[in-house]
Structure 1
């Protein structure tokens, strides 16, 4: 349980956020994260396409090197996806 003083301090912080960053305060109130910027979406899509292409090319060409690079790219894409959802 918060003390009276702590509640007052939290209310001051809330008022400060509403005055200085109204968009942030609205997002925090609604509980919805901000949409990712277009550059981040392009990076995620590019990683997914590249990973799939490299793995397919590695399988078709019977090239362990391409398959390994594709697997590393898939791992990177998974990390990017998880970091995206971790912040949400």
Structure 2
């Protein structure tokens, strides 16, 4: 925990920075995407690769079941990607309007 004097100095610096460059402060307050969000995106990309491999291996190996399950999951992943993209656009639109 910082002493009172240091906290006061930091608060003054924050106030001066907010007054002089609000765009910079807004960019810093946004920060990096949460770890949970990045983990979800990584999992989704791995699932996409798996579906593509299911389709390719199903075609090349003559495994009808693997090929069909790959084809069945493609629309599901397209829907998931579209939903994520639309939410991201909504958030960006909300940020621009504010």
- The Cα RMSD (Å) is 2.3
2:43 aligned with 1:43: yes
Structure 2 unmatched ranges of 5 or more: 1-25, 89-98
Which protein, 1 or 2, shows the higher relative CO under an 8 Å CA cutoff with sep ≥ 6?
A: 1
**Between Structure 1 and Structure 2, how many residues are aligned?**
58
For residues 50 and 71 of structure 2, the distance between their equivalents in structure 1, rounded to whole angstroms, comes to 11
Q: CA deviation at 1:47?
A: 1.5
2:42 aligned with 1:55: no
Please, what TM-score do these two structures have when normalized by structure 1?
Answer: 0.55
Q: CA deviation at 1:35?
A: 4.3
For residues 48 and 85 of structure 1, the distance between their equivalents in structure 2, rounded to whole angstroms, comes to 15
Q: CA deviation at 1:74?
A: 1.6
Partner residue in 1 for 2:72: 72
Structure 1 unmatched ranges of 5 or more: 1-25, 28-33
Question: After TM superposition, where is structure 1 displaced by more than 3 Å over at least 4 residues in a row?
Answer: none
Partner residue in 1 for 2:82: 82
Q: CA deviation at 1:46?
A: 1.3
Q: Is the 8 A contact 1:55 1:67 kept in 2?
A: yes
Kindly name which structure, 1 or 2, has the bigger radius of gyration based on alpha carbons.
Answer: 2
For residues 78 and 39 of structure 1, the distance between their equivalents in structure 2, rounded to whole angstroms, comes to 19
Considering fraction of residues, name the structure with more helix. 2
